[in-house]
């Protein structure tokens, strides 16, 4: 048996350490560890509740809008305005947030994942992007073109940031999403500027990103069988009024769909460096203990009905397709047929890449429709008043999956705040029953050719892990 440690395995946002044991050409055991404690949840205790709106986005520079959205939803509920956010405010929140999703998906595909499949030896990127792969399947021309797209994607990401800044003031850490709605009433000039950039981004997503993702999926079709979890969960995302969300919530297991019940979530800490017992996030604590016996990660282990679940684009696609979401089915159904994929192998390395590209196009189309619904003279927010005692939960999907903020106010101040991020779900360690976390599950059983590094890198990175979020 050989043990290999990849540390860090992530190309961005903190250190994820992965240890694999390889025996007879197979990964027989995997351990996923977050190597850092941050404590943002503890910093919030005793502060004025509206501070959560400004502080929690600092959890992450890649997906700050995800935390801004979850904090706003939790504060909407705690302040009793959940049902009164004006339509304009909702549309603006969606437009700010969706722009950051487009940025994240383009970043992930071109800059964090694709280099694992490219020959970069003859470029200035060699060395920066890690060791060369021997499993290259693109022609010279395809490789050269994908490297060009790597560069073009940098420009697309800049434009996506500009979309956030147009309605949110700046990026990162926009100031447009607030409890009760949005802070800024956009001018006609800003709406036109947004539309102009959105169309440029959409053209790239449709004409380049989606095609490149399909090409990758065709060349590496065996990766539809690798890195599978098959238990998927999504909180849904992008409210559209009357309790509906563009991406519906749900839980999917081997083809069976179940409605989401947030009450059966708990965060286990048996192998995490925290004292205490596993509990629902409304009651769970964060008590760091670096010397805890058996613990091997600073990431907690969220579980749904006691089971580890993969979160992210594969979960959203499986649930949306499983529920027969008509608009998503029209796009997703065709693409999956083209790549010869069924919802059953979305939970795989290539399934995740394809699901991300698919939803980027779906979202870009939807953003244009939301933009057309904005009323420049309409209200964007309702005032909020902080109660002495209240609770609120903000559940949304982030680009990388299900994200929850749970807040309790006592005496007009924050008494409790818990964040469970997508990478907390995906990169979690084992739990008290010994069940591995989703990335550990995805790695174990994988056939490998050499020491396993190539396959492990591709599997872990297909989840797009972000450690800054995972440990908060």
Report the interface residues with ligand NFE, using CB under 6 A.
13, 60, 62-63, 66, 398-400, 403, 421-423, 466, 468-470
Question: What pairs with residue 332 in β-bridges?
Answer: none
Please check whether residue 302 is in contact with residue 421, taking contact to mean a CB–CB distance below 8 angstroms. no
How far apart (Å, rounded) are the C-alpha atoms in residues 369 and 91? 10
Which residue, 105 or 408, has its beta carbon nearer to ligand NFE? Answer: 105
Smaller CB separation from ligand NFE, 67 or 325? 67
Smallest distance, ligand NFE to C-beta of residue 464, A: 7
Task: Output 66 or 92, the one with its CB closest to ligand NFE.
Answer: 66
- DSSP assignment letter at 272: B
Name the minimum Å distance from CB 418 to ligand NFE: 13
Neighbours of 108 (CB within 10 A): 27
Residue 381 in contact with residue 348, Cβ under 8 Å? no
375, 88 in Cβ contact below 8 A? yes
Smallest distance from ligand NFE to CB 437, Å:
13
CB of 360 to ligand NFE, least distance (A): 13
The bridge status of strand 256-258 relative to strand 287-288 is unpaired
Residue number with the smallest Cβ distance to ligand NFE? 469
- We find the least distance from the C-beta atom of residue 431 to ligand NFE, in angstroms, to be 18
Q: H-type helices in 169-285, by residue range? A: 188-204, 210-219
CA 291 – CA 287 distance, rounded (Å): 12
Cβ atoms of 237 and 319 closer than 8 Å:
no
- Supply the minimum distance, in Å, between the C-beta of residue 421 and ligand NFE: 4
Between residues 67 and 416, which has the closer beta carbon with respect to ligand NFE? Answer: 67
Min separation Cβ 460 and ligand NFE, Å: 14
Q: Where are the alpha helices (DSSP H) in 258-338?
A: 313-322, 326-338
Dmax over CA atoms of the chain, in Å, equals 68
Distance of closest approach, residue 173 Cβ to ligand NFE, in angstroms: 13
Cis peptide before 8 (omega within 30 of 0): yes
- Of 261, 278, 282, 259, nearest to 270 by C-alpha is 278
Rounded Cα gap, residues 156 and 205, in angstroms: 9
Give 65 or 339: the residue with its C-beta nearer to ligand NFE. Answer: 65
| Cβ atoms of residues 100 and 160 within 8 Å | yes
Using only C-alpha atoms, what is the Rg of the chain? Answer: 21
Of 68 and 147, which has the nearer Cβ to ligand NFE? Answer: 68
Nearer to ligand NFE, 98 or 381 (CB): 98
| Shortest reach from residue 400's CB to ligand NFE, in Å | 3
CA–chain centroid gap for 304, Å, is 17
Whichever of 101 and 370 has its CB closer to ligand NFE, that residue is: 101
Nearer to ligand NFE, 446 or 472 (CB): 472
Measured between alpha carbons, how far is 281 from 468 in angstroms, rounded to an integer? 19
């Amino acid at each position: 048996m050989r043990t290999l440690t990849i540390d860090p395995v992530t190309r961005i946002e903190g250190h994820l350490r992965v240890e694999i044991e390889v025996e007879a050409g197979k990964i027989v055991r995997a351990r996923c560890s977050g190597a850092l404690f941050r404590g943002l949840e503890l910093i919030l205790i005793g502060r004025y509740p509206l501070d959560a709106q400004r502080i929690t986005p600092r959890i992450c520079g890649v997906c700050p809008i995800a935390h801004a959205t979850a904090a706003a939803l939790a504060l909407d509920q705690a302040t009793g305005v959940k049902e009164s956010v004006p339509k304009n405010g909702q549309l603006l929140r969606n437009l700010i947030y969706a722009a950051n999703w487009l940025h994240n998906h383009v970043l992930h595909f071109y800059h964090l994942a694709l280099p694992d499949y490219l020959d970069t030896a003859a470029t200035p990127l060699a060395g920066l992007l890690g060791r060369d792969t021997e499993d290259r399947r693109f022609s010279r021309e395809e490789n050269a073109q994908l490297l060009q797209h790597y560069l073009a994607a940098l420009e697309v990401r800049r434009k996506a940031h500009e979309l956030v800044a147009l309605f949110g003031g700046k990026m990162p850490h926009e100031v447009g999403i607030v409890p009760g709605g949005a802070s800024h009433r956009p001018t006609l000039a800003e709406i036109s500027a947004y539309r102009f950039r959105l169309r440029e981004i959409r053209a790239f997503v449709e004409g380049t990103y989606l095609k490149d993702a399909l090409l990758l999926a065709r060349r590496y079709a065996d990766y539809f069988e690798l890195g599978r979890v098959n238990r998927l969960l999504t909180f849904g995302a992008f409210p559209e009024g009357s309790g509906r969300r563009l991406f519906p919530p749900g839980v999917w297991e081997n083809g069976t769909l179940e409605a989401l019940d947030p009450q059966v979530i708990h965060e286990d800490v048996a192998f995490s460096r925290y004292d205490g017992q596993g509990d629902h996030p409304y009651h769970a604590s964060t008590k760091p203990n670096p010397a805890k016996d058996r613990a091997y990660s600073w990431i907690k282990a969220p579980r749904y009905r006691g089971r580890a679940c993969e979160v992210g684009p594969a979960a959203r696609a499986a649930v949306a397709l499983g529920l027969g979401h008509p608009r998503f089915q029209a796009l997703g159904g065709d693409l999956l047929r083209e790549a010869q994929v069924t919802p059953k192998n979305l939970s795989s390395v290539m399934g995740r890449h394809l699901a991300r590209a698919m939803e980027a196009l779906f979202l870009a189309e939807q953003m244009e429709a939301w933009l057309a619904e904005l009323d420049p003279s309409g209200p964007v927010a309702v005032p909020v008043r902080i109660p002495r005692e209240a609770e609120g939960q903000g559940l949304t999907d982030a680009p990388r999956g299900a994200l929850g903020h749970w807040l309790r106010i006592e005496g007009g101040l924050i008494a409790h705040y818990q964040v469970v991020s997508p990478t907390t779900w995906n990169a979690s360690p084992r739990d008290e029953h010994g069940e591995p976390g989703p990335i550990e599950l995805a790695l174990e059983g994988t056939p490998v050719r050499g020491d396993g590094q190539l396959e492990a890198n591709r599997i872990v990175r297909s989840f797009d892990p972000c450690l800054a979020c995972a440990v908060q």
